[in-house]
């Protein structure tokens, strides 16, 4: 049974929470229930429960709040399962530190934002609504990390272009992150123009600590446009992640070629 997620703005956004800390779950529930534009669906504690819920639910969640460190597995699994089952759902990662490595992995799994566990109760609801309104928070550290990896990819692609017929993969593998290295082996998915010039500018300013509003002012854009750039970037990262998964699966012979 496949349930189509609603694309029209509903009266309230439905929220699913997967977090093993009961007290934090209660805090989140209180914050969600206190906000009329949000509707609490369920609070789950483990990966197993989340899978079971996804298998039986009759209602599509609009927002997922997932902790990464679940007792029986990674919250990334929940995010992936959600992205497969309900593509319109926006997963948000619950994070203590919001550190670069876990943030990048979350975005690649399909997350569109993160929420600090020590956020003030009012901030929790506001962040969720912002996400639904099209905002995607990105830390300067993450922006810098994406830029660095992207530039490496460009160099590898340029090197491959300089030697016609040569694949970029050998040059890129081992020197850059996994999604870029393997992405380079699927050229239709990764072009050197993976990031537009504007997106690069925006990322660069974020990495230097400027806020969306300041960037909008500096670049003569609307804040919404800046947010759209970031959202697009998130989507691209996730697409890359999926391509990478497909590439990896076919490399391992897990996917059959159609006869």
Residues of this chain that interact with other proteins (CB under 8 A) are 97-101, 118-120, 123, 139-141, 144, 206-211, 214
Distance separating alpha carbons of residues 168 and 230, to the nearest angstrom: 27
Rank residues 29 and 204 by Cβ distance to other proteins and give the closer one: 204
SS3 153: helix
Neighbours of 10 (CB within 10 A): 12
Q: How far is the CB of 135 from other proteins (least distance, A)?
A: 14
Long-range contacts at 136-141 (CB < 8 A, ≥ 24 apart): 136/112, 136/227, 136/230, 136/231, 136/233, 136/234, 137/113, 138/206, 138/230, 138/233, 138/234, 139/98, 139/100, 139/103, 140/206, 140/207, 140/208, 140/209, 141/99, 141/100, 141/103
Rank residues 86 and 150 by Cβ distance to other proteins and give the closer one: 150
Rank residues 191 and 208 by Cβ distance to other proteins and give the closer one: 208
Q: How far is the CB of 210 from other proteins (least distance, A)?
A: 6
Q: How far is the CB of 1 from other proteins (least distance, A)?
A: 41
Q: How far is the CB of 190 from other proteins (least distance, A)?
A: 25
Q: How far is the CB of 205 from other proteins (least distance, A)?
A: 10
Distance separating alpha carbons of residues 120 and 215, to the nearest angstrom: 26
Rank residues 17 and 207 by Cβ distance to other proteins and give the closer one: 207
Rank residues 89 and 233 by Cβ distance to other proteins and give the closer one: 233
Distance separating alpha carbons of residues 221 and 119, to the nearest angstrom: 29
């Amino acid at each position: 049974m496949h349930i189509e997620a609603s694309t029209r703005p509903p009266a309230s956004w439905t929220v699913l929470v997967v977090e093993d800390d009961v007290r934090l779950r209660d805090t989140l529930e209180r914050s969600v229930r206190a906000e009329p534009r949000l509707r609490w669906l369920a609070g789950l504690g483990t990966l197993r429960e989340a899978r079971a819920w996804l298998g039986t639910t009759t209602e599509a969640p609009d927002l997922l709040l997932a902790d990464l460190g679940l007792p029986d597995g990674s919250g990334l699994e929940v995010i992936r399962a959600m992205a497969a089952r309900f593509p319109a759902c926006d997963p948000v990662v619950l994070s203590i530190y919001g550190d670069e490595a876990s943030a990048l992995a979350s975005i690649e799994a399909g997350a569109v934002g993160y929420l600090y566990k020590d956020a003030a109760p009012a901030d929790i609801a506001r962040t969720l609504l912002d996400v639904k309104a099209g905002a995607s928070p990105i830390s300067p550290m993450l922006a810098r990390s994406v830029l660095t990896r992207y530039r490496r990819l460009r160099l590898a692609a340029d090197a491959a272009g300089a030697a016609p017929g040569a694949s970029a993969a050998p040059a890129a593998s081992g020197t850059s992150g996994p999604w870029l290295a393997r992405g380079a082996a699927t050229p239709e998915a990764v072009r050197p123009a993976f990031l537009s010039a504007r997106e690069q500018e925006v990322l660069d300013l974020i990495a230097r600590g400027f806020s969306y509003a300041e960037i909008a002012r500096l670049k003569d854009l609307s804040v919404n446009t800046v947010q759209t750039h970031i959202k697009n970037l998130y989507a691209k990262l996730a697409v890359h992640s999926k391509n990478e998964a497909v590439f990896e699966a076919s490399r391992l012979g897990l996917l059959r070629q159609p006869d």
